[in-house]
Amino acid sequence: MMDIQQLVHKSLEELYTMPVPENSVQLQKTKKEFKGHLTLVVFPLLKISKKNPEQTAIEIGEYLLKKQSVITEFNVIKGFLNLTVASSYWIDILNEINRTEKFGTVEAAENAPLVMIEYSSPNTNKPLHLGHIRNNLLGFSISEILKATGNKVVKTNIVNDRGIHICKSMLAWKRMGNGETPQSSGKKGDHLVGDYYVKFDREYKKELKELQATGLSEKEAEAQSTLMGEAREMLRKWEAGDTETVSLWEKMNSWVYEGFDETYKMMGVDFDKIYYESQTYLAGKEQVLKGLKNGIFRQKEDGSVWADLTSDGLDEKLLLRADGTSVYMTQDIGTAELRFNDYPINKMVYVVGNEQNYHFQVLALLLDKLGFEFGKGLVHFSYGMVELPEGKMKSREGTVVDADDLMEEMIRTAKETSEELGKLEGYSPEETGDIIKTVGLGALKYFILKVDPRKNMVFNPKESIDFNGNTGPFIQYTYARIQSVLRKAGEQSVFLPAALDTGIAISEKVESLIQMMSEFPSIVQEAADSFSPAVIANYTYDLVKEYNQFYHDFSILKEENTALKQFRLRLSENIGKIIAVGFSLLGINVPERM
């Protein structure tokens, strides 16, 4: 479109013999109901033409037709000039796409901006669940998309490895564990620790019920709970460096990290740098105490430290508890300071759910008040929650869907569906295993990433694995079909020239398909600007849908005209390339066979 826009701009200056502001030349894709490829909006040019919209459009159209061979036809609808671009131009575009190995992406220059993306942020008291899957997939995909648009990217994770919730799992294991380990139980470490978090909650609720039965109110019962009191004491001991408490914490966290590593590997996500709250909260605590000394924060009679944000339209925010222990905000202040000390970050993006909108609004304000220049420049990429058809999940009640269980279910469902459709016939067990894993995880990732990330969504495993419609398997199957056609062409020794003959006659539908392909770089840029993998996911589906219509309408390997056969093979090959690049930016693999 940029090429045509420059050409039209130059022609307009020739036609009207005067400078034409570049922003006056507004080209857009022609609507499907009208003939043409590109539409010029004429209204910004009326001051120059001194004619009405229709006369101006006709005048410009006739001039372009006369002076520019790339424009072959035009029609006028009110103040809109619809332009038809020559087939040879679109074949040239296809040749250019073919020459560009990673079409749609840009390598980062040496002085490119550095963007840090934080995602995952798990707690070490439970395994990753469905909500974490959306977080990790979004964070990883946004990182890949930003890299593809010329940025340097650092993918980072902050592990919430300390706090009262961690102590709940530790206390429950200490009381009820009887020395159980991942090895003795046969469970992944993160699942084992998560079980004890659930056990704590059950015992705590049981204790509260008994206390309330004696006539105490809910708040009074909570205050007198011996179980919660022990958990708070365990946290205090941990912060004081008590040897026994720290040793138990290290042991249980090591179980969890091994489990996390397995889950991340299966999910296909990774990190360049991992921070741990246990290593960053002290830096945050130091900043809070410094802010207290400088009068930025205030201390209440019970010893707790607060930030008064009422003048900023917010409320008061707790930064240190009365017993001196830290809260999440304290840790985030320390982590932000350490990160900006470690890296020359130009932009910091937090991929965190929309239930934390207020938290990041406060964090940006606090960092600014503490004198950090990067404070107000932080970006909270706020995404919607993900639920199952059955409704919301609750970790402490044990009603969450574990990420591991869900991924296994997706692979199992992919196997069953593929077998029913006869798509695994003739493959070895090893090939079958690779294919169903690629399809199952691709279905999961695509279903989650195709949704506008800012919206809440319902994940339905059965819908996601469908081989028809807007699903990962549908797109993967199209890619595999293309690879099959290319393999057969190779077996038939079909020669593909480096550049296609631009004199081939192609249909309007095929021209539109190449036009869609040419839009891929701008689609990737739009996804980067909006932090939305959904833009790429849905573009890829639309492209595949159009290609499948082409595949249905035109013969490829049986085409007798050699030039046309070569063209259709090259077109198919590059559709496959765009699918592969697009899916790689979503963190999804594509199968060579299926």
Task: State the average pLDDT over residues 564-592.
Answer: 97
Per the domain annotation, does 394 fall within a domain? no
Give yes or no: residues 436 and 477 share one domain.
Answer: yes
Joined together, the tokens standing for residue 65 give: 């037709």
Instruction: Answer with the one of 85, 110, 134 that is the final residue of a domain.
Output: 85
pLDDT above 60 (res 171): yes
In a domain, 90, yes or no: no
- Which of 358, 387, 416 terminates a domain? The answer is 387
Q: What is the CATH number of the domain that holds 181?
A: 3.40.50.620
For residue 127, pLDDT over 70 is answered with yes
The pLDDT of residue 397 is above 50: no
Alpha carbon separation from 188 to 140, 184, 261 (Å, rounded): 24, 11, 11
Question: Which pLDDT does position 395 carry in this prediction?
Answer: 43
- Position 491 scores a pLDDT of 96
pLDDT band for position 396 (50/70/90)? very low
Q: What are the tens digits of pLDDT across the range 249-296? A: 999 999 999 999 999 999 999 999 999 999 999 999 999 999 999 999
At 423, the pLDDT band (50, 70, 90 cuts) reads: confident
* 502: its two tokens: 């631009």
Alpha helices by DSSP H, 177-270: 182-185, 189-213, 218-224, 226-239, 243-267
Query: Is residue 206 situated within a structural domain?
Result: yes
Amino acid at 566: Q
Report the distance separating Cα 150 and Cα 136, nearest Å.
22
Which tokens belong to 205?
A: 């609720």
What is the span of the domain harbouring residue 442? Answer: 403-585
Task: With a cut of 60, say whether residue 112 has pLDDT above it.
Answer: yes
pLDDT at residue 464 is higher than 90 = no
pLDDT at 488 over 70: yes
Percent of the chain topping pLDDT 70: 98
pLDDT given for residue 383 in this prediction: 96
Residues 388-415: what's their mean pLDDT? Answer: 74
Q: With beta carbons less than 8 A apart as the criterion, state whether 331 and 280 touch.
A: yes
**Which residues are within 8 A (CB) of 300 and not within 5 positions of it... i.e. 6 or more apart?**
306, 322
Question: How much is the mean pLDDT over the chain?
Answer: 93
Chain centroid, CA 571 distance in Å: 29
List CB contacts of 204: < 8 A, sequence separation 6 or more: 168, 225, 227, 228
Residue 93 lies in a domain: no
In a shared domain, residues 482 and 346? no
282 and 376 within one domain: yes
Q: Say if residue 229 is in the same domain as residue 325.
A: yes
Read off the pLDDT of residues 217-253 as tens digits, 9 standing for 90 and up. Answer: 999 999 999 999 999 999 999 989 999 999 999 999 9
* Kind plus residue range of the DSSP H or E element containing 328: helix 328-342
d(CA 582, CA 579): 5
As a whole-number percent, the residues of the chain with pLDDT over 90 amount to: 86
Is 173 in the same domain as 269? yes
Query: What is the pTM (predicted TM-score) of this model?
Result: 0.92
Q: What's the number of domains the chain is made of? A: 3
453-461 mean pLDDT? 90
Q: Taking Cα atoms as reference points, which of 418, 298, 288 lies closest to residue 363?
A: 288
Same domain, 260 and 189: yes
CB 90 within 8 A of CB 506: yes
Of the candidates 468, 408, 413, 414, which has an alpha carbon nearest to the alpha carbon of residue 436? 414
In a domain, 55, yes or no: yes
- 455 with 376, same domain? no
Q: Judge if 339 and 483 occupy the same domain.
A: no
> Quick one: angle between helices 53-67 and 2-16, nearest 10?
100
pLDDT given for residue 460 in this prediction: 83
**What CATH number does residue 57 fall under?**
3.30.1360.70
Considering the domain architecture, whether residues 180 and 243 belong to the same structural domain is answered as yes
* pLDDT confidence bin for 548, thresholds 50/70/90: very high
Do 245 and 315 reside in the same domain of the chain? Answer: yes
Q: Which two tokens stand for residue 535?
A: 């833009």
* 304 and 337 co-located in one domain: yes
Q: What pLDDT is recorded for position 469?
A: 87
373 vs 446 pLDDT, higher one: 446
pLDDT given for residue 391 in this prediction: 52
Can you tell me the mean pLDDT for 340-345?
Answer: 94
pLDDT, position 399: 54
Q: Between 23 and 190, where is the model more confident?
A: 190
Q: What is the pLDDT of residues 346-375, one digit of tens each?
A: 999 999 999 999 999 999 999 999 999 888
| Cβ proximity of 49 and 56 under 8 Å | yes
Cα-Cα-Cα-Cα dihedral of 519, 520, 526, 530, to 10°? 140
Contacts (Cβ under 8 Å, ≥6 apart) of 507 = none
pLDDT at 212: 96
Q: Is 490 inside a domain boundary?
A: yes
Q: Cα(first)–Cα(last) distance of the chain, in Å? A: 36
Q: Are residues 238 and 378 in the same domain?
A: yes
